[in-house]
Chains A and B, each alone.
Chain A
Amino acid sequence: GAVVSQHPSWVICKSGTSVKIECRSLDFQATTMFWYRQFPKQSLMLMATSNEGSKATYEQGVEKDKFLINHASLTLSTLTVTSAHPEDSSFYICSARGTGQQETQYFGPGTRLLVL
């Protein structure tokens, strides 16, 4: 149980284009999903918290107009990197928190983004 998927697993795009990443909880309902970014040999940095049916809460220093988050249902959240630039190249990971064990987050496999 508690499986989270992400799509795509990797994406290469040209500078200036937008990229959408999907995060799905497959076997449970996730009232809250989190989006993280991880640079090589660094830890996960929380970008934003996404609650179903409401606006996402962004961490300090994260541009909400650049990283658009939509949490349209209890099993799906999307992150859109708008007008991507090479410095946005990173490993993006989502996690989902169920209604049962509220402290534990279940992570997706991650999406590797490379912006040329």
Chain B
Amino acid sequence: SQKIEQNSEALNIQEGKTATLTCNYTNYSPAYLQWYRQDPGRGPVFLLLIRENEKEKRKERLKVTFDTTLKQSLFHITASQPADSATYLCALEGSSYKLIFGSGTRLLVRP
């Protein structure tokens, strides 16, 4: 069956460093992959979408890579700030534009 894995352990880093989060998937060949940010008690906020024919996408301090051979996406936040602390969800495209979400990785950026 289809499976999406994100590191369930929180990622704790120092302000200014680069945060790297991983999303792995199996039994799946998505046409695109998305990353969302979710703060406690709030709905997810869309960050970036990357298609299967794109290797990398950037938006300000964010960078996403998509390796369809490894079945993996990496999400990077450069020059991290305490305000970046949140849970980051990866989501893969299912049928009929449905999204299938990973369980998310919590990022903590220490000042």
Contact = CB atoms under 8 A, between A and B. Distances in A.
A105 B100 CA distance: 12
Interface string B99-111: 1111110000000
Nearest to B103: A43
B97 A32 contact: yes
Interface residues of B, number: 21
The main secondary structure of chain A at its interface with chain B is: strand
Interface of B: 32, 34, 36, 41-46, 49, 89, 93, 96-104
Contact of B42 (A102, A103, A104, A109): A109
Given A34-B98, A110-B41, A104 B49 contact: yes
12 contacts: A43-B101, A46-B98, A46-B99, A103-B32, A103-B49, A103-B93, A103-B97, A104-B49, A105-B99, A107-B45, A110-B42, A110-B43
Contacts of B101: 43-45
A105 B46 contact: yes
